[in-house]
Chain A
Amino acid sequence: MAVSDERISARRRRRAGGQRGGLPAGTSRTAGYFFVAIYVVLLLALGVAPAVYAIALALSTSGGVGVSHFVDTFNFFEFLPAFEHIAEFEGIWLASQTVFVVLLALMVHTLKRRVSTAFRLIFYLPGAMAGSASAIIWLFMFTPSGSPFAFILHGLHYQVLSNTVQPSNLPIVFAIMAFFTGAGGWIVIMYGALNNIPDELIEAAEIDGSSALQTAVRIKIPLIRKWIVYMLVLSFAAGSQLFVEPQILGVATNGQVPAQWSPNQLAYYLAFQQDSFNNAAAVSVDLLVIGLLVAVLLVWRGRLFEVE
């Protein structure tokens, strides 16, 4: 009995040693659990448990288990518009962010290092204003009296804030706010990715007579493609959760921006104004599924995160 046990553990040890990333002899088998313990507890309590609990709440009906909360919330007259708002916002934001971030990163990359550092700093500093700060700043920027951009707003015949933030403008308004705080970080990242392209590659192309534009389109952009995809996917996931900007604008315009403009606002409204945790859970499960799908897709199909 003792002999066979020993043989099994010897085999296990060999197998472990044979794996890629195998460990040197003398490593404890159980130490790993010890190191990840706190994190696993947090993961279960604050990642898995809330998700499971939200699903359970969304599925529990007066008659047992069912999808009636999903059906009910779907039939709310604010439900589809909220998702339409988000779709329109994401379309405008993602398209403009992709074009401008790539363009600016390429342009900054052609500058002398010291000059480009100054540009990158200006582009990414607004990131410090993420959240309610950016929403408040743009509240002022969008108010025709006193805004540094007043000449544009007056050109559009806007006289007061409520003209600028009229319902049809809101997706663009939020796209501008999101671009203001988010684009700089991505420009810095794209710039870093461009720096990782070997100089010889660019020089060879130039010797072959490639113009700056050709080099950018044929060599640089394909080589930073995975970062562009990464930016698109992460931004899409984050954008679907829009909350703070419409919330702040709603407060500042006395409700001209409705409190159920985005799906997350709708979930909040259901929980706090309607006291319906089950319906709030149903909407947040809808949103959770979107986030989860995007994440799983990126991890499984994208090659960005080579785990081992």
Chain B
Amino acid sequence: MLARRYIYRVIGLLVLLLFVAFFGVPLLWLLLAPTKTDYQLAHQAPLAFGSLGTFIHTFNRVINYQGGLMLTWLKNSAIYSGGGTALALLAAIPAGYGLALTQFIGRRTLLAVTLVVMIMPATALVMPLFLEASAVNLVGTAWAVILPFAFFPFGVYLAYIYFSSTIPKDLLAAARIDGAGEWGVFLHVALPLARPIVALVAFFAFVGDWTNYYLPFVMTYTNSEYPVTVGLQILIGSAPIFSPTASGYAGSEIYRPDLAMATLIGALPILIIFLFAQRTLVKGMLAGATKG
């Protein structure tokens, strides 16, 4: 009995380690690949460490690629995600408050529509959004990316759950009796208490916007407009290893360590946010359950 239990434990641990390898090894490889030259990458052990000097050299190559294209892409990503997140907050936090703590005709309908749109994958709307944007001549402008990001029904739902479950109505009533207007009650009573939900909505919006590929891919046309997710695809197109026709002019080639470095740089902001936000993520995703 005891022996059998022991065997189960060992098997269980092995399975866990197998998945640790599946999830962890690609990330580890991504960290190590830029420490090697292209030749080393192909001929050394995949998880061998090259040198710190090569890592810095690769970093500089990527940053200086075509006169700092990578920085332009990062800047674009920051503008699209930052702008989209700011607008999403501006719309979602008051909307969640309004749905949770005020009464108006059509409130339940709006809530139901919000739920439906929230569950529908945002990707499903990209083509229709493109068709709409091209009808009003927005394609190729930052607004064509930022405005769709601003529409964030999941954030409205999270804010709604938060306000309806954590803000005591008596508190708001007291403020009203004290003569505060509706806007004042929201601004001076509810909003200061809503800091956690603002952080949560910002987290989900920003991560979703930064990693979004399809929408900016469709809405932007030129190198100077791409965010980093789309820029990475351009780099693959310039890598002779994947695109033999992409020889180009001297110095414009992208080698495998460069591609790994660019991927790493592009994902770094989200990696950092993720490292500090695991608890936030659980809270947000379980919000439905605590309410239900």
The answer to whether A193 touches B23, judged by C-beta atoms less than 8 angstroms apart, is: no
* Interface residue B229 (Cβ < 8 Å from any Cβ of A): yes
- Give, as a whole number of angstroms, the nearest-CB distance from B131 to chain A: 6
Q: Is the CB of A244 within 8 A of B214?
A: yes
Q: Give chain B residues whose Cβ lies under 8 Å from the Cβ of A59.
A: none
Kindly list chain B residues whose C-beta atoms are within 8 Å of the C-beta of A305. 115, 288, 291-292
Which residues of B are found within 8 Å of A108, using beta-carbon distances? 16
The reply to whether B98 and A180 form a contact with Cβ atoms under 8 Å apart is no
On whether the beta carbons of A304 and B292 are closer than 8 Å, the reply is yes
Asked if A150 meets B124 with Cβ closer than 8 Å, knowing A33-B104, A38-B91, A189-B285, the reply is no
By the criterion CB–CB under 8 Å, are A299 and B229 in contact?
A: no
Q: Is A119 an interface residue (CB 8 A)?
A: yes
User: Which among B51-59, B61-69, B195-203, B235-243 touches the partner chain?
Assistant: B235-243
Q: Is A66 an interface residue (CB 8 A)?
A: no
Q: How large is the interface on B (under 10, 10 to 19, 20 to 34, 35 or more residues)?
A: 35 or more
Chain A residues in 8 Å Cβ range of B98: 31-36
The residue from B150, B186, B218, B242 contacting A35, defined by CB atoms under 8 A apart? B186
A92 near B: Cβ within 8 Å?
no
- A212-247 CB mask vs B (1 if < 8 Å, else 0) is 100000000000001100100110011011011001
Q: Contact: B119 with A264, CB < 8 Å?
A: no
Name B114's closest neighbour in chain A (CB-CB). A43
Report which residue of B25, B26, B243 has the largest number of chain A beta carbons within 10 angstroms of its beta carbon. Answer: B26
**Interchain CB contact under 8 A, A36 and B278:** no
> What residues of A have a CB within 8 angstroms of the CB of B2 in the complex?
none
User: Do B182 and A28 touch (CB < 8 A)?
Assistant: yes
Evaluate whether A126 and B263 lie within 8 angstroms (CB atoms) in the complex, with A243-B213, A295-B117 already known: no
Instruction: Using known A-B contacts A36-B98, A132-B213, determine if residue A189 contacts B282 with beta carbons closer than 8 Å.
Output: yes
Given contacts A26-B176, A36-B95, A254-B244, contact A237 B182 (CB under 8 A): no
Q: Is the CB of B131 within 8 A of A126?
A: no
The answer to whether B121 touches A291 (Cβ under 8 A) is yes
Say yes or no: A47-B151 contact (C-beta < 8 A), given A26-B173, A146-B42.
yes
Are A268 and B127 in contact, CB atoms less than 8 angstroms apart?
A: yes
Judge whether B281 and A130 touch: CB under 8 Å.
no
**At the interface, yes or no: B6 with Cβ under 8 Å from chain A?**
no
Known contacts A32-B104, A51-B125, A291-B124; A38/B94 CB under 8 A: yes
Residues from chain B with Cβ under 8 Å of A226 in the complex: 289
Task: Confirm or deny: A307 has a beta carbon within 8 angstroms of a beta carbon on chain B.
Answer: yes
Q: Which residues of B lie under 8 Å from residue A29 when comparing CB positions?
A: 103-104
A100 within 8 A of B: yes
Give the residue of B108, B127, B274, B285 whose beta carbon is less than 8 angstroms from that of A267: B127
Q: Which residues of A contact B285 (CB under 8 A)?
A: 185, 188-189, 192
- Whether the Cβ atoms of A247 and B289 lie closer than 8 Å is no
Number of A-B contacts (CB under 8 A): 325
Contacts of B151 in A (CB 8 A): 42-43, 45-47
Within 8 A of A (CB), among B262-289: 263, 266-267, 270-271, 273-275, 278, 281-282, 285-286, 288-289
Tell me whether B70 is interfacial, beta carbon within 8 Å. Answer: no
How close is A116's CB to chain B, nearest CB, in angstroms?
10
Give chain B residues whose Cβ lies under 8 Å from the Cβ of A21.
164
Residues of B within 8 A of A205 (CB): none
A30 cross-chain contacts in B, Cβ below 8 A? 104
| B271 close to A128 (CB less than 8 A) | yes
CA distance A128 to B278 in the complex (A): 11
**Residue of B with least CB distance to A141:** B26
A185 to B285, CA, bound (A): 9
- Give CA–CA (A36, B116) in the complex, Å: 17
State the B residues within 8 Å of A (CB): 8, 12, 15-16, 19-20, 22-27, 29-30, 33, 41-42, 46-47, 90-92, 94-95, 97-99, 101-104, 107-108, 110-121, 123-132, 134-135, 147-148, 150-151, 153, 156, 164, 169-170, 172-173, 176-177, 182-183, 186, 207, 211-214, 217-218, 229-230, 232-233, 236-237, 242-245, 256, 259-260, 263, 266-267, 270-271, 273-275, 278, 281-282, 285-286, 288-289, 291-292
Instruction: Give 8 closest A-B pairs by Cβ, nearest first.
Output: A35-B98, A32-B104, A32-B102, A39-B95, A31-B182, A284-B127, A54-B128, A50-B128
Q: List 25 A-B contacts (CB under 8 A).
A: A26-B176, A27-B176, A32-B103, A35-B95, A38-B95, A39-B95, A39-B156, A43-B113, A46-B148, A50-B128, A50-B129, A119-B20, A126-B27, A128-B270, A129-B263, A131-B229, A133-B232, A148-B26, A189-B286, A251-B242, A252-B243, A253-B242, A290-B124, A294-B120, A296-B116
